């Protein structure tokens, strides 16, 4: 069975030595090695594909192998080196949403606000210093008090670990877990291929591509959080399998401060139009957006130059009117605390225009795997609004059929009982009468 070897820091150095072992070691066949935040000795690795995961503040990665010294082909397919292709774990904002990985929502909001007031984070929410200095601990203890979720001990506390990840220096991260497994399984065709420097009127932008270039165009816009940049990947892969050419622009990669939260919807529309033209399309078959990206998608769908045929929105930060010719599917988790589902209830006139409104009981503020087959199904529908309700109608019909069957069963059961119970008692009375007669006859004798 193929073996994946993965390690961080000194563990990364250790897995870098594994390719030098021969078959007698009993270690098995190495499909790949994945050293995190550590370089490897490439002199002992002549055949095992290697994927580097690095953090920009880990300085310096002096022994990191240059791209030319890492095996670049595997059974005829090019491999990808994260330290070259941009698979680095960048610093993350210590927002309330980020802190909910370890805290309850109200605790996360209070602690995030305290970090801002104590100037432990900058104006954008990034940490000002390495959290390993532990100066944030006093603020956390003051805010959380007896509600502290753990001991806040280094290398033990959930909160301490995510703070290290936010700083992005010499920390183990699972941010690229899916890419790691896809890489080691040789699924290159399903990996997002980064095309850095797509030219737009507002400057270059990093774009991830899926699917055949000649397919109908789909553009997916991510949410505000940089940590969720690849949240649309599962959906993009599914649409690529349906023949779509999917583009995922990274709006965090733009220059001149044009990032989520500062870039206008008009500027987003300009970027998307430039990507559309460079991909040799004169319209967008499907526009997708989540949270901030959902609000942007609903706004730019009104741009007639984009000719948006279908739109998929997941918990959009804003819900704006869209063209009558555009079919729209809306997805939301009822426990979403970041953008609550009640926001949709403030737009009843838009709800009436939806092709599909799918709700999940739980899932929070994420693009859920449960949405993917529904989006895939939606991609097959004719691009006309107000025509179908997809699986919701089918599920409703199934429930109605079951309710009807259940009602019929209850009526039949009551009818049977109505006949059986009196019959039983009649039979019993006759039996008792016969038995009494026999006793009287016996007494006479």
Using the predicted structure, report yes or no on whether residue 175 has a pLDDT greater than 80: no
The string of DSSP letters for 64-126 reads: PPPGGGS--EETTEE---HHHHT-B-------HHHHTTTS-HHHHHHHHHHHHHTTSB-TTS-
CA distance 311 to 320: 12
The pLDDT-based confidence of 86 (bands split at 50, 70, 90) is very low
Residues 383 and 399 in one domain: no
Residue 216 has what DSSP assignment?
A: P
Number of domains in the chain: 4
pLDDT for the residue 82: 33
The pLDDT-based confidence of 88 (bands split at 50, 70, 90) is low
pLDDT for the residue 198: 82
pLDDT for the residue 28: 62
182: in domain:
no
pLDDT for the residue 188: 47
pLDDT-wise least confident of 79-93, 96-110, 113-127, 221-235: 79-93
Residues 375 and 396 in one domain: no
90: in domain:
no
The pLDDT-based confidence of 399 (bands split at 50, 70, 90) is very low
CA distance 56 to 27: 32
Residues 314 and 272 in one domain: yes
Residues 71 and 115 in one domain: no
Of residues 371 and 84, more confidently modeled: 371
Residues 56 and 102 in one domain: no
261: in domain:
yes
Using the predicted structure, report yes or no on whether residue 247 has a pLDDT greater than 90: yes
- What global pTM score does this model have? 0.49
Give the range with max mean pLDDT: 30-34, 211-215, 284-288: 284-288
Domain containing residue 384: CATH number: 3.40.50.1820
Residues 63 and 114 in one domain: no
Residues 103 and 154 in one domain: yes
Domain holding 58, by residue range, is 3-85
CA distance 185 to 4: 9
pLDDT-wise least confident of 86-100, 200-214, 224-238, 361-375: 86-100
Average pLDDT over residues 344-361: 90
Using the predicted structure, report yes or no on whether residue 1 has a pLDDT greater than 70: no
Residues 237 and 154 in one domain: no
Residues 296 and 348 in one domain: yes
Task: Find the helix or strand (DSSP H, E) in which 443 lies.
Answer: helix 390-444
Structure tokens of 437? Answer: 């007669």
Residue pointed to by tokens 């909160």: 159
């Amino acid at each position: 069975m193929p073996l994946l070897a993965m390690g961080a820091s000194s563990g990364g150095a250790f897995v870098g030595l594994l390719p030098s072992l021969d078959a007698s070691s009993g270690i098995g066949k190495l499909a790949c090695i994945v050293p995190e935040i550590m370089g490897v000795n490439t002199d002992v690795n002549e055949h095992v594909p290697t994927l580097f995961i690095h953090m920009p503040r880990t300085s310096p990665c002096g022994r990191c192998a240059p791209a030319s010294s890492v095996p670049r082909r595997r059974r005829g397919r090019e491999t990808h080196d994260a330290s070259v292709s941009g698979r680095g774990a960048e610093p993350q904002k210590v927002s309330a949403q980020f802190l909910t990985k370890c805290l309850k929502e109200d605790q996360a909001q209070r602690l995030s606000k305290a970090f801002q007031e104590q100037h432990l984070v900058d104006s954008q929410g990034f940490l000002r210093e390495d959290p390993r200095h532990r100066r944030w601990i006093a603020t956390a203890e003051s805010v959380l008090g007896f509600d502290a979720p753990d001991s806040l001990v280094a290398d033990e506390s959930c909160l301490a670990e995510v703070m290290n990840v936010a700083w992005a220096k010499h920390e183990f991260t699972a941010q690229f877990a899916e890419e790691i497994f896809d890489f080691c399984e040789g699924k290159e065709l399903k990996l997002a291929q980064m095309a850095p420097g797509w030219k737009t009127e507002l400057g270059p932008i990093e774009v991830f591509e899926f699917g055949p270039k000649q397919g109908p165009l789909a553009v997916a816009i991510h949410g505000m959080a940089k940590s969720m940049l690849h949240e649309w990947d599962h959906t993009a892969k599914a649409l690529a399998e349906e023949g779509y050419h999917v583009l995922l622009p990274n709006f965090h990669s733009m220059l001149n401060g044009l990032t989520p939260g500062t870039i206008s919807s008009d500027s987003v529309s300009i970027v998307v139009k430039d990507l559309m033209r460079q991909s040799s399309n004169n319209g967008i078959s499907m526009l997708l957006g989540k949270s901030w990206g959902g609000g942007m998608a609903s706004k730019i769908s009104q741009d007639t130059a984009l000719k948006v045929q279908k739109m998929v929105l997941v918990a959009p930060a804003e819900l704006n009117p869209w063209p009558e010719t555009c079919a729209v599917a809306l997805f939301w988790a009822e426990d979403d605390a970041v953008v609550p589902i009640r926001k949709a209830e403030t737009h009843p006139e838009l709800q009436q225009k939806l092709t599909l409104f799918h709700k999940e009981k739980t899932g929070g503020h994420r693009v859920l795997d449960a949405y993917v087959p529904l989006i895939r199904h939606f991609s097959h529908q004719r691009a006309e609004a107000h025509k179908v309700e997809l699986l919701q109608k089918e599920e409703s019909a199934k429930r109605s059929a079951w309710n009807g069957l259940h009602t019929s069963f209850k009526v039949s059961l009551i009818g049977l009982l109505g006949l059986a119970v009196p019959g039983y008692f009649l039979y019993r009375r006759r039996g008792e009468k016969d038995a009494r007669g026999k006793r009287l006859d016996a007494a006479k004798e």
